[in-house]
Amino acid sequence: MSLKVNPPTFPDEILKDDPEHGIVLNNFTLQLKNVSKEASGNYSCAKEDWESSPYDLDVLYVPACSPDQPRVIRAAKNETVNITCEVDSNPLEVMFQWMFNNSATALDIHPSHFFQLGTVSLIVYTPLADLDYGTFQCLAYNRVGRQREPCIVDLVPTDTSDTGTVEIMYTYDNLSQKTKTISDNEWKPFTINYDVL
């Protein structure tokens, strides 16, 4: 007897009895231990020229942060930004909880202040003062349980001042050249050269 498995990550793989790795085959019974979401898929039992109908294994798991969501958002005062939290979850029905903290306070954000569409939650936020910058954390829940690690987004100010600007003026032969080195929002230095007559 063999067991044919077709989860997305292991198409048409034949499972063999391997109790050390959590796979136990006994007559027409398959026992899987410590399964992860990657084990989801179709399983069927086969012997010689007979194969059973496939059994769909749907592994449920608590939400986890989507790996490609932003971790840092830059915003100037009075600039409105979207702060998102996206999770991977099965089942897809989730509820979100948001928190905000900075050097002065930590608070829960009331659900009326954020939106949700499926496994994505969104806060539309406008920092007005220095204390409006800080760390947003979101946690998602589904019927399996609560997310283990929160998704974290740091809101930091966009530097709009001339802080970090260096000006060098030098003159040779009746021609003056002025060089100004400044940093952009990403703190990557760039240089502007221009002639002063």
Average pLDDT, stretch 30-44?
82
- Asked if 85 and 45 touch (Cβ cutoff 8 Å), the reply is no
CA angle 81, 91, 55 (to 5 degrees): 145
Question: 61: which 2 tokens?
Answer: 């798991």
Answer whether residue 2 shows pLDDT above 50. Answer: no
Give mean pLDDT, residues 76-105.
96
- Please give the backbone phi and psi of residue 111, each rounded to the nearest 5 degrees, phi first: -55, -20
Beta bridge partners of 138: 98, 151
pLDDT for residue 179:
54
Cβ-based burial of 116 (10 A; exposed 0-12, middle 13-18, buried ≥19): middle
Where along the chain do the CATH 2.60.40.10 domains lie?
A: 62-157
pLDDT per residue as tens digits for the range 126-183: 999 999 999 999 999 999 999 999 999 999 999 755 445 555 555 555 555 555 555 4
**Residue 184 reports pLDDT greater than 70:** no
User: Does residue 115 or residue 35 have the better pLDDT?
Assistant: 115
pLDDT for 161 equals 54
SS3 content of the chain, % helix, strand, coil (to 5): 5, 55, 40
Q: Residue 44: its pLDDT value, please?
A: 81
- Reported as a single tens digit per residue, the pLDDT across 126-138 is 999 999 999 999 9
Among the listed residues 193, 67, 85, 61, the one whose alpha carbon sits nearest the alpha carbon of residue 139: 85
In CATH terms, the fold of domain 62-157 is Immunoglobulin-like (2.60.40)
In this predicted structure, what is the pLDDT of residue 154?
Answer: 97
Question: Is 47's pLDDT higher than 90?
Answer: no
Over the chain, what is the mean pLDDT?
A: 81
- For tokens 């496939």, what's the residue? 54
